[in-house]
A and B are shown apart, each in its own frame.
Chain A
Amino acid sequence: MPLIGALPQPITSAPLVLFVYLVLILLLGSALACVLLRNTLYAIAAFAGSMVLVALLYLAIAPFLLVAVQLLVFTTISAALLIGLLRATTGLRASSVGRLSPEWIVGAAVSAVMFALLALVLGATAWPVQACCALPDSFSGVLGSTYAVGLAVLAVVLGSAALGSGLLLAAPTLPSPRGGGSTTSRSPGGGGSTPARGARR
């Protein structure tokens, strides 16, 4: 009796392979844009896009629960934390772009195309159903039974992080002995710096 059965074969379906390649290219591109953009708000948008693309990639290769958690929990909470930080520090002003301006129309069109594409792909292939039903056990059931200790540790870690970040934010800021840093260039990009700060961006 062999110890190891046959390994799963790689994906060979042409549309699915094309989709995986496309998502991977977009993922790496948006990740690169995230770390290269100087405006923090745009970097956060690129990061949220990367998280959505990771969820789309999981749609092809992972259980559906992971896709849902990645898309609904990790993406939204990460973006909310980052936007909350910007609102609490640099302050985000309301957009001056009107609702019928070309920028708004282009953005809405891109969003509509992305949603339509996602709905089309989901409707045509039914990957979530296949991925979910191909599992021997329910993923959530395995999570609750086999990995119960891990889940408990995770809850402790998340609780500690929430408590720690809350305490950090609630702590009064002591005056700096150096009188604070330079404020020569303040921008929502968060990269306020003096020009002679070396080669690091």
Chain B
Amino acid sequence: MSAGLNLLLVASAGLFAIGVFGVVARRSAVVMLLGAQFMFIAGALAFVAFARFGLGALHGTAGATMALFAGAIALAELAVGLAMAALVYREHRSFALDADRG
């Protein structure tokens, strides 16, 4: 029994799929933002996995750096998205995002 690149890539794909589900299937703005965060985390996890177990290990810090950058970008996206969610809440008294709202 071992834990290598394949395991982490499968977990990354699963996390990405969960994020896509959150973005597509839920209509709460907050949950959609959290789904997008999971997609970012999945990408960062794949970077780190390749840096640790794949060819990226030749440049040991590259994957971790990419993960740091992805996390920071995700944080920026979360800040702007939450501000937009707050505006939506001010207008509709709900976080729900629906095309058929009116």
B52 touches which of A4, A14, A61 (Cβ 8 Å): A61
- List chain B residues, Cβ under 8 A from A47: 34, 37
A164 touches which of B29, B31, B75, B83 (Cβ 8 Å): B83
Cα(A90)–Cα(B8), bound, Å: 38
| B-side interface residues, number (CB < 8 Å) | 72
A104 on the B face (CB < 8 A): no
> What is the CB-to-nearest-CB distance from B23 to chain A, in angstroms, rounded to a whole number?
9
Contact A147 B98, CB 8 Å, known A7-B54, A58-B48, A85-B30? no
Contact A197–B100 (Cβ < 8 Å) = yes
Contact A161 B76, CB 8 Å, known A61-B8, A186-B93? yes
Contact A201–B75 (Cβ < 8 Å) = no
Contact A32–B18 (Cβ < 8 Å) = yes
A88 on the B face (CB < 8 A): yes
Number of residue pairs spanning A and B whose beta carbons lie under 8 angstroms apart: 232
> What is the CB-to-nearest-CB distance from A199 to chain B, in angstroms, rounded to a whole number?
9
Contact B34–A69 (Cβ < 8 Å) = no
The 0/1 profile, CB within 8 Å of B marked 1, for residues 21-44 of chain A is 100100110011011000010011
Q: Within residues 53 to 102 of chain B, which ones have a CB less than 8 A from any CB in chain A?
A: 53-55, 57-58, 60-61, 63-65, 67-69, 71-80, 82-87, 89-96, 98, 100-102
Contact A164 B80, CB 8 Å, known A35-B31, A74-B71, A191-B28? yes
A97 on the B face (CB < 8 A): no
Contact A200 B26, CB 8 Å, known A16-B3, A191-B96? yes
Interface centre among B15, B49, B68, B98 (most CB of A within 10 A): B68
Cα(A167)–Cα(B54), bound, Å: 43
Contact B61–A191 (Cβ < 8 Å) = no
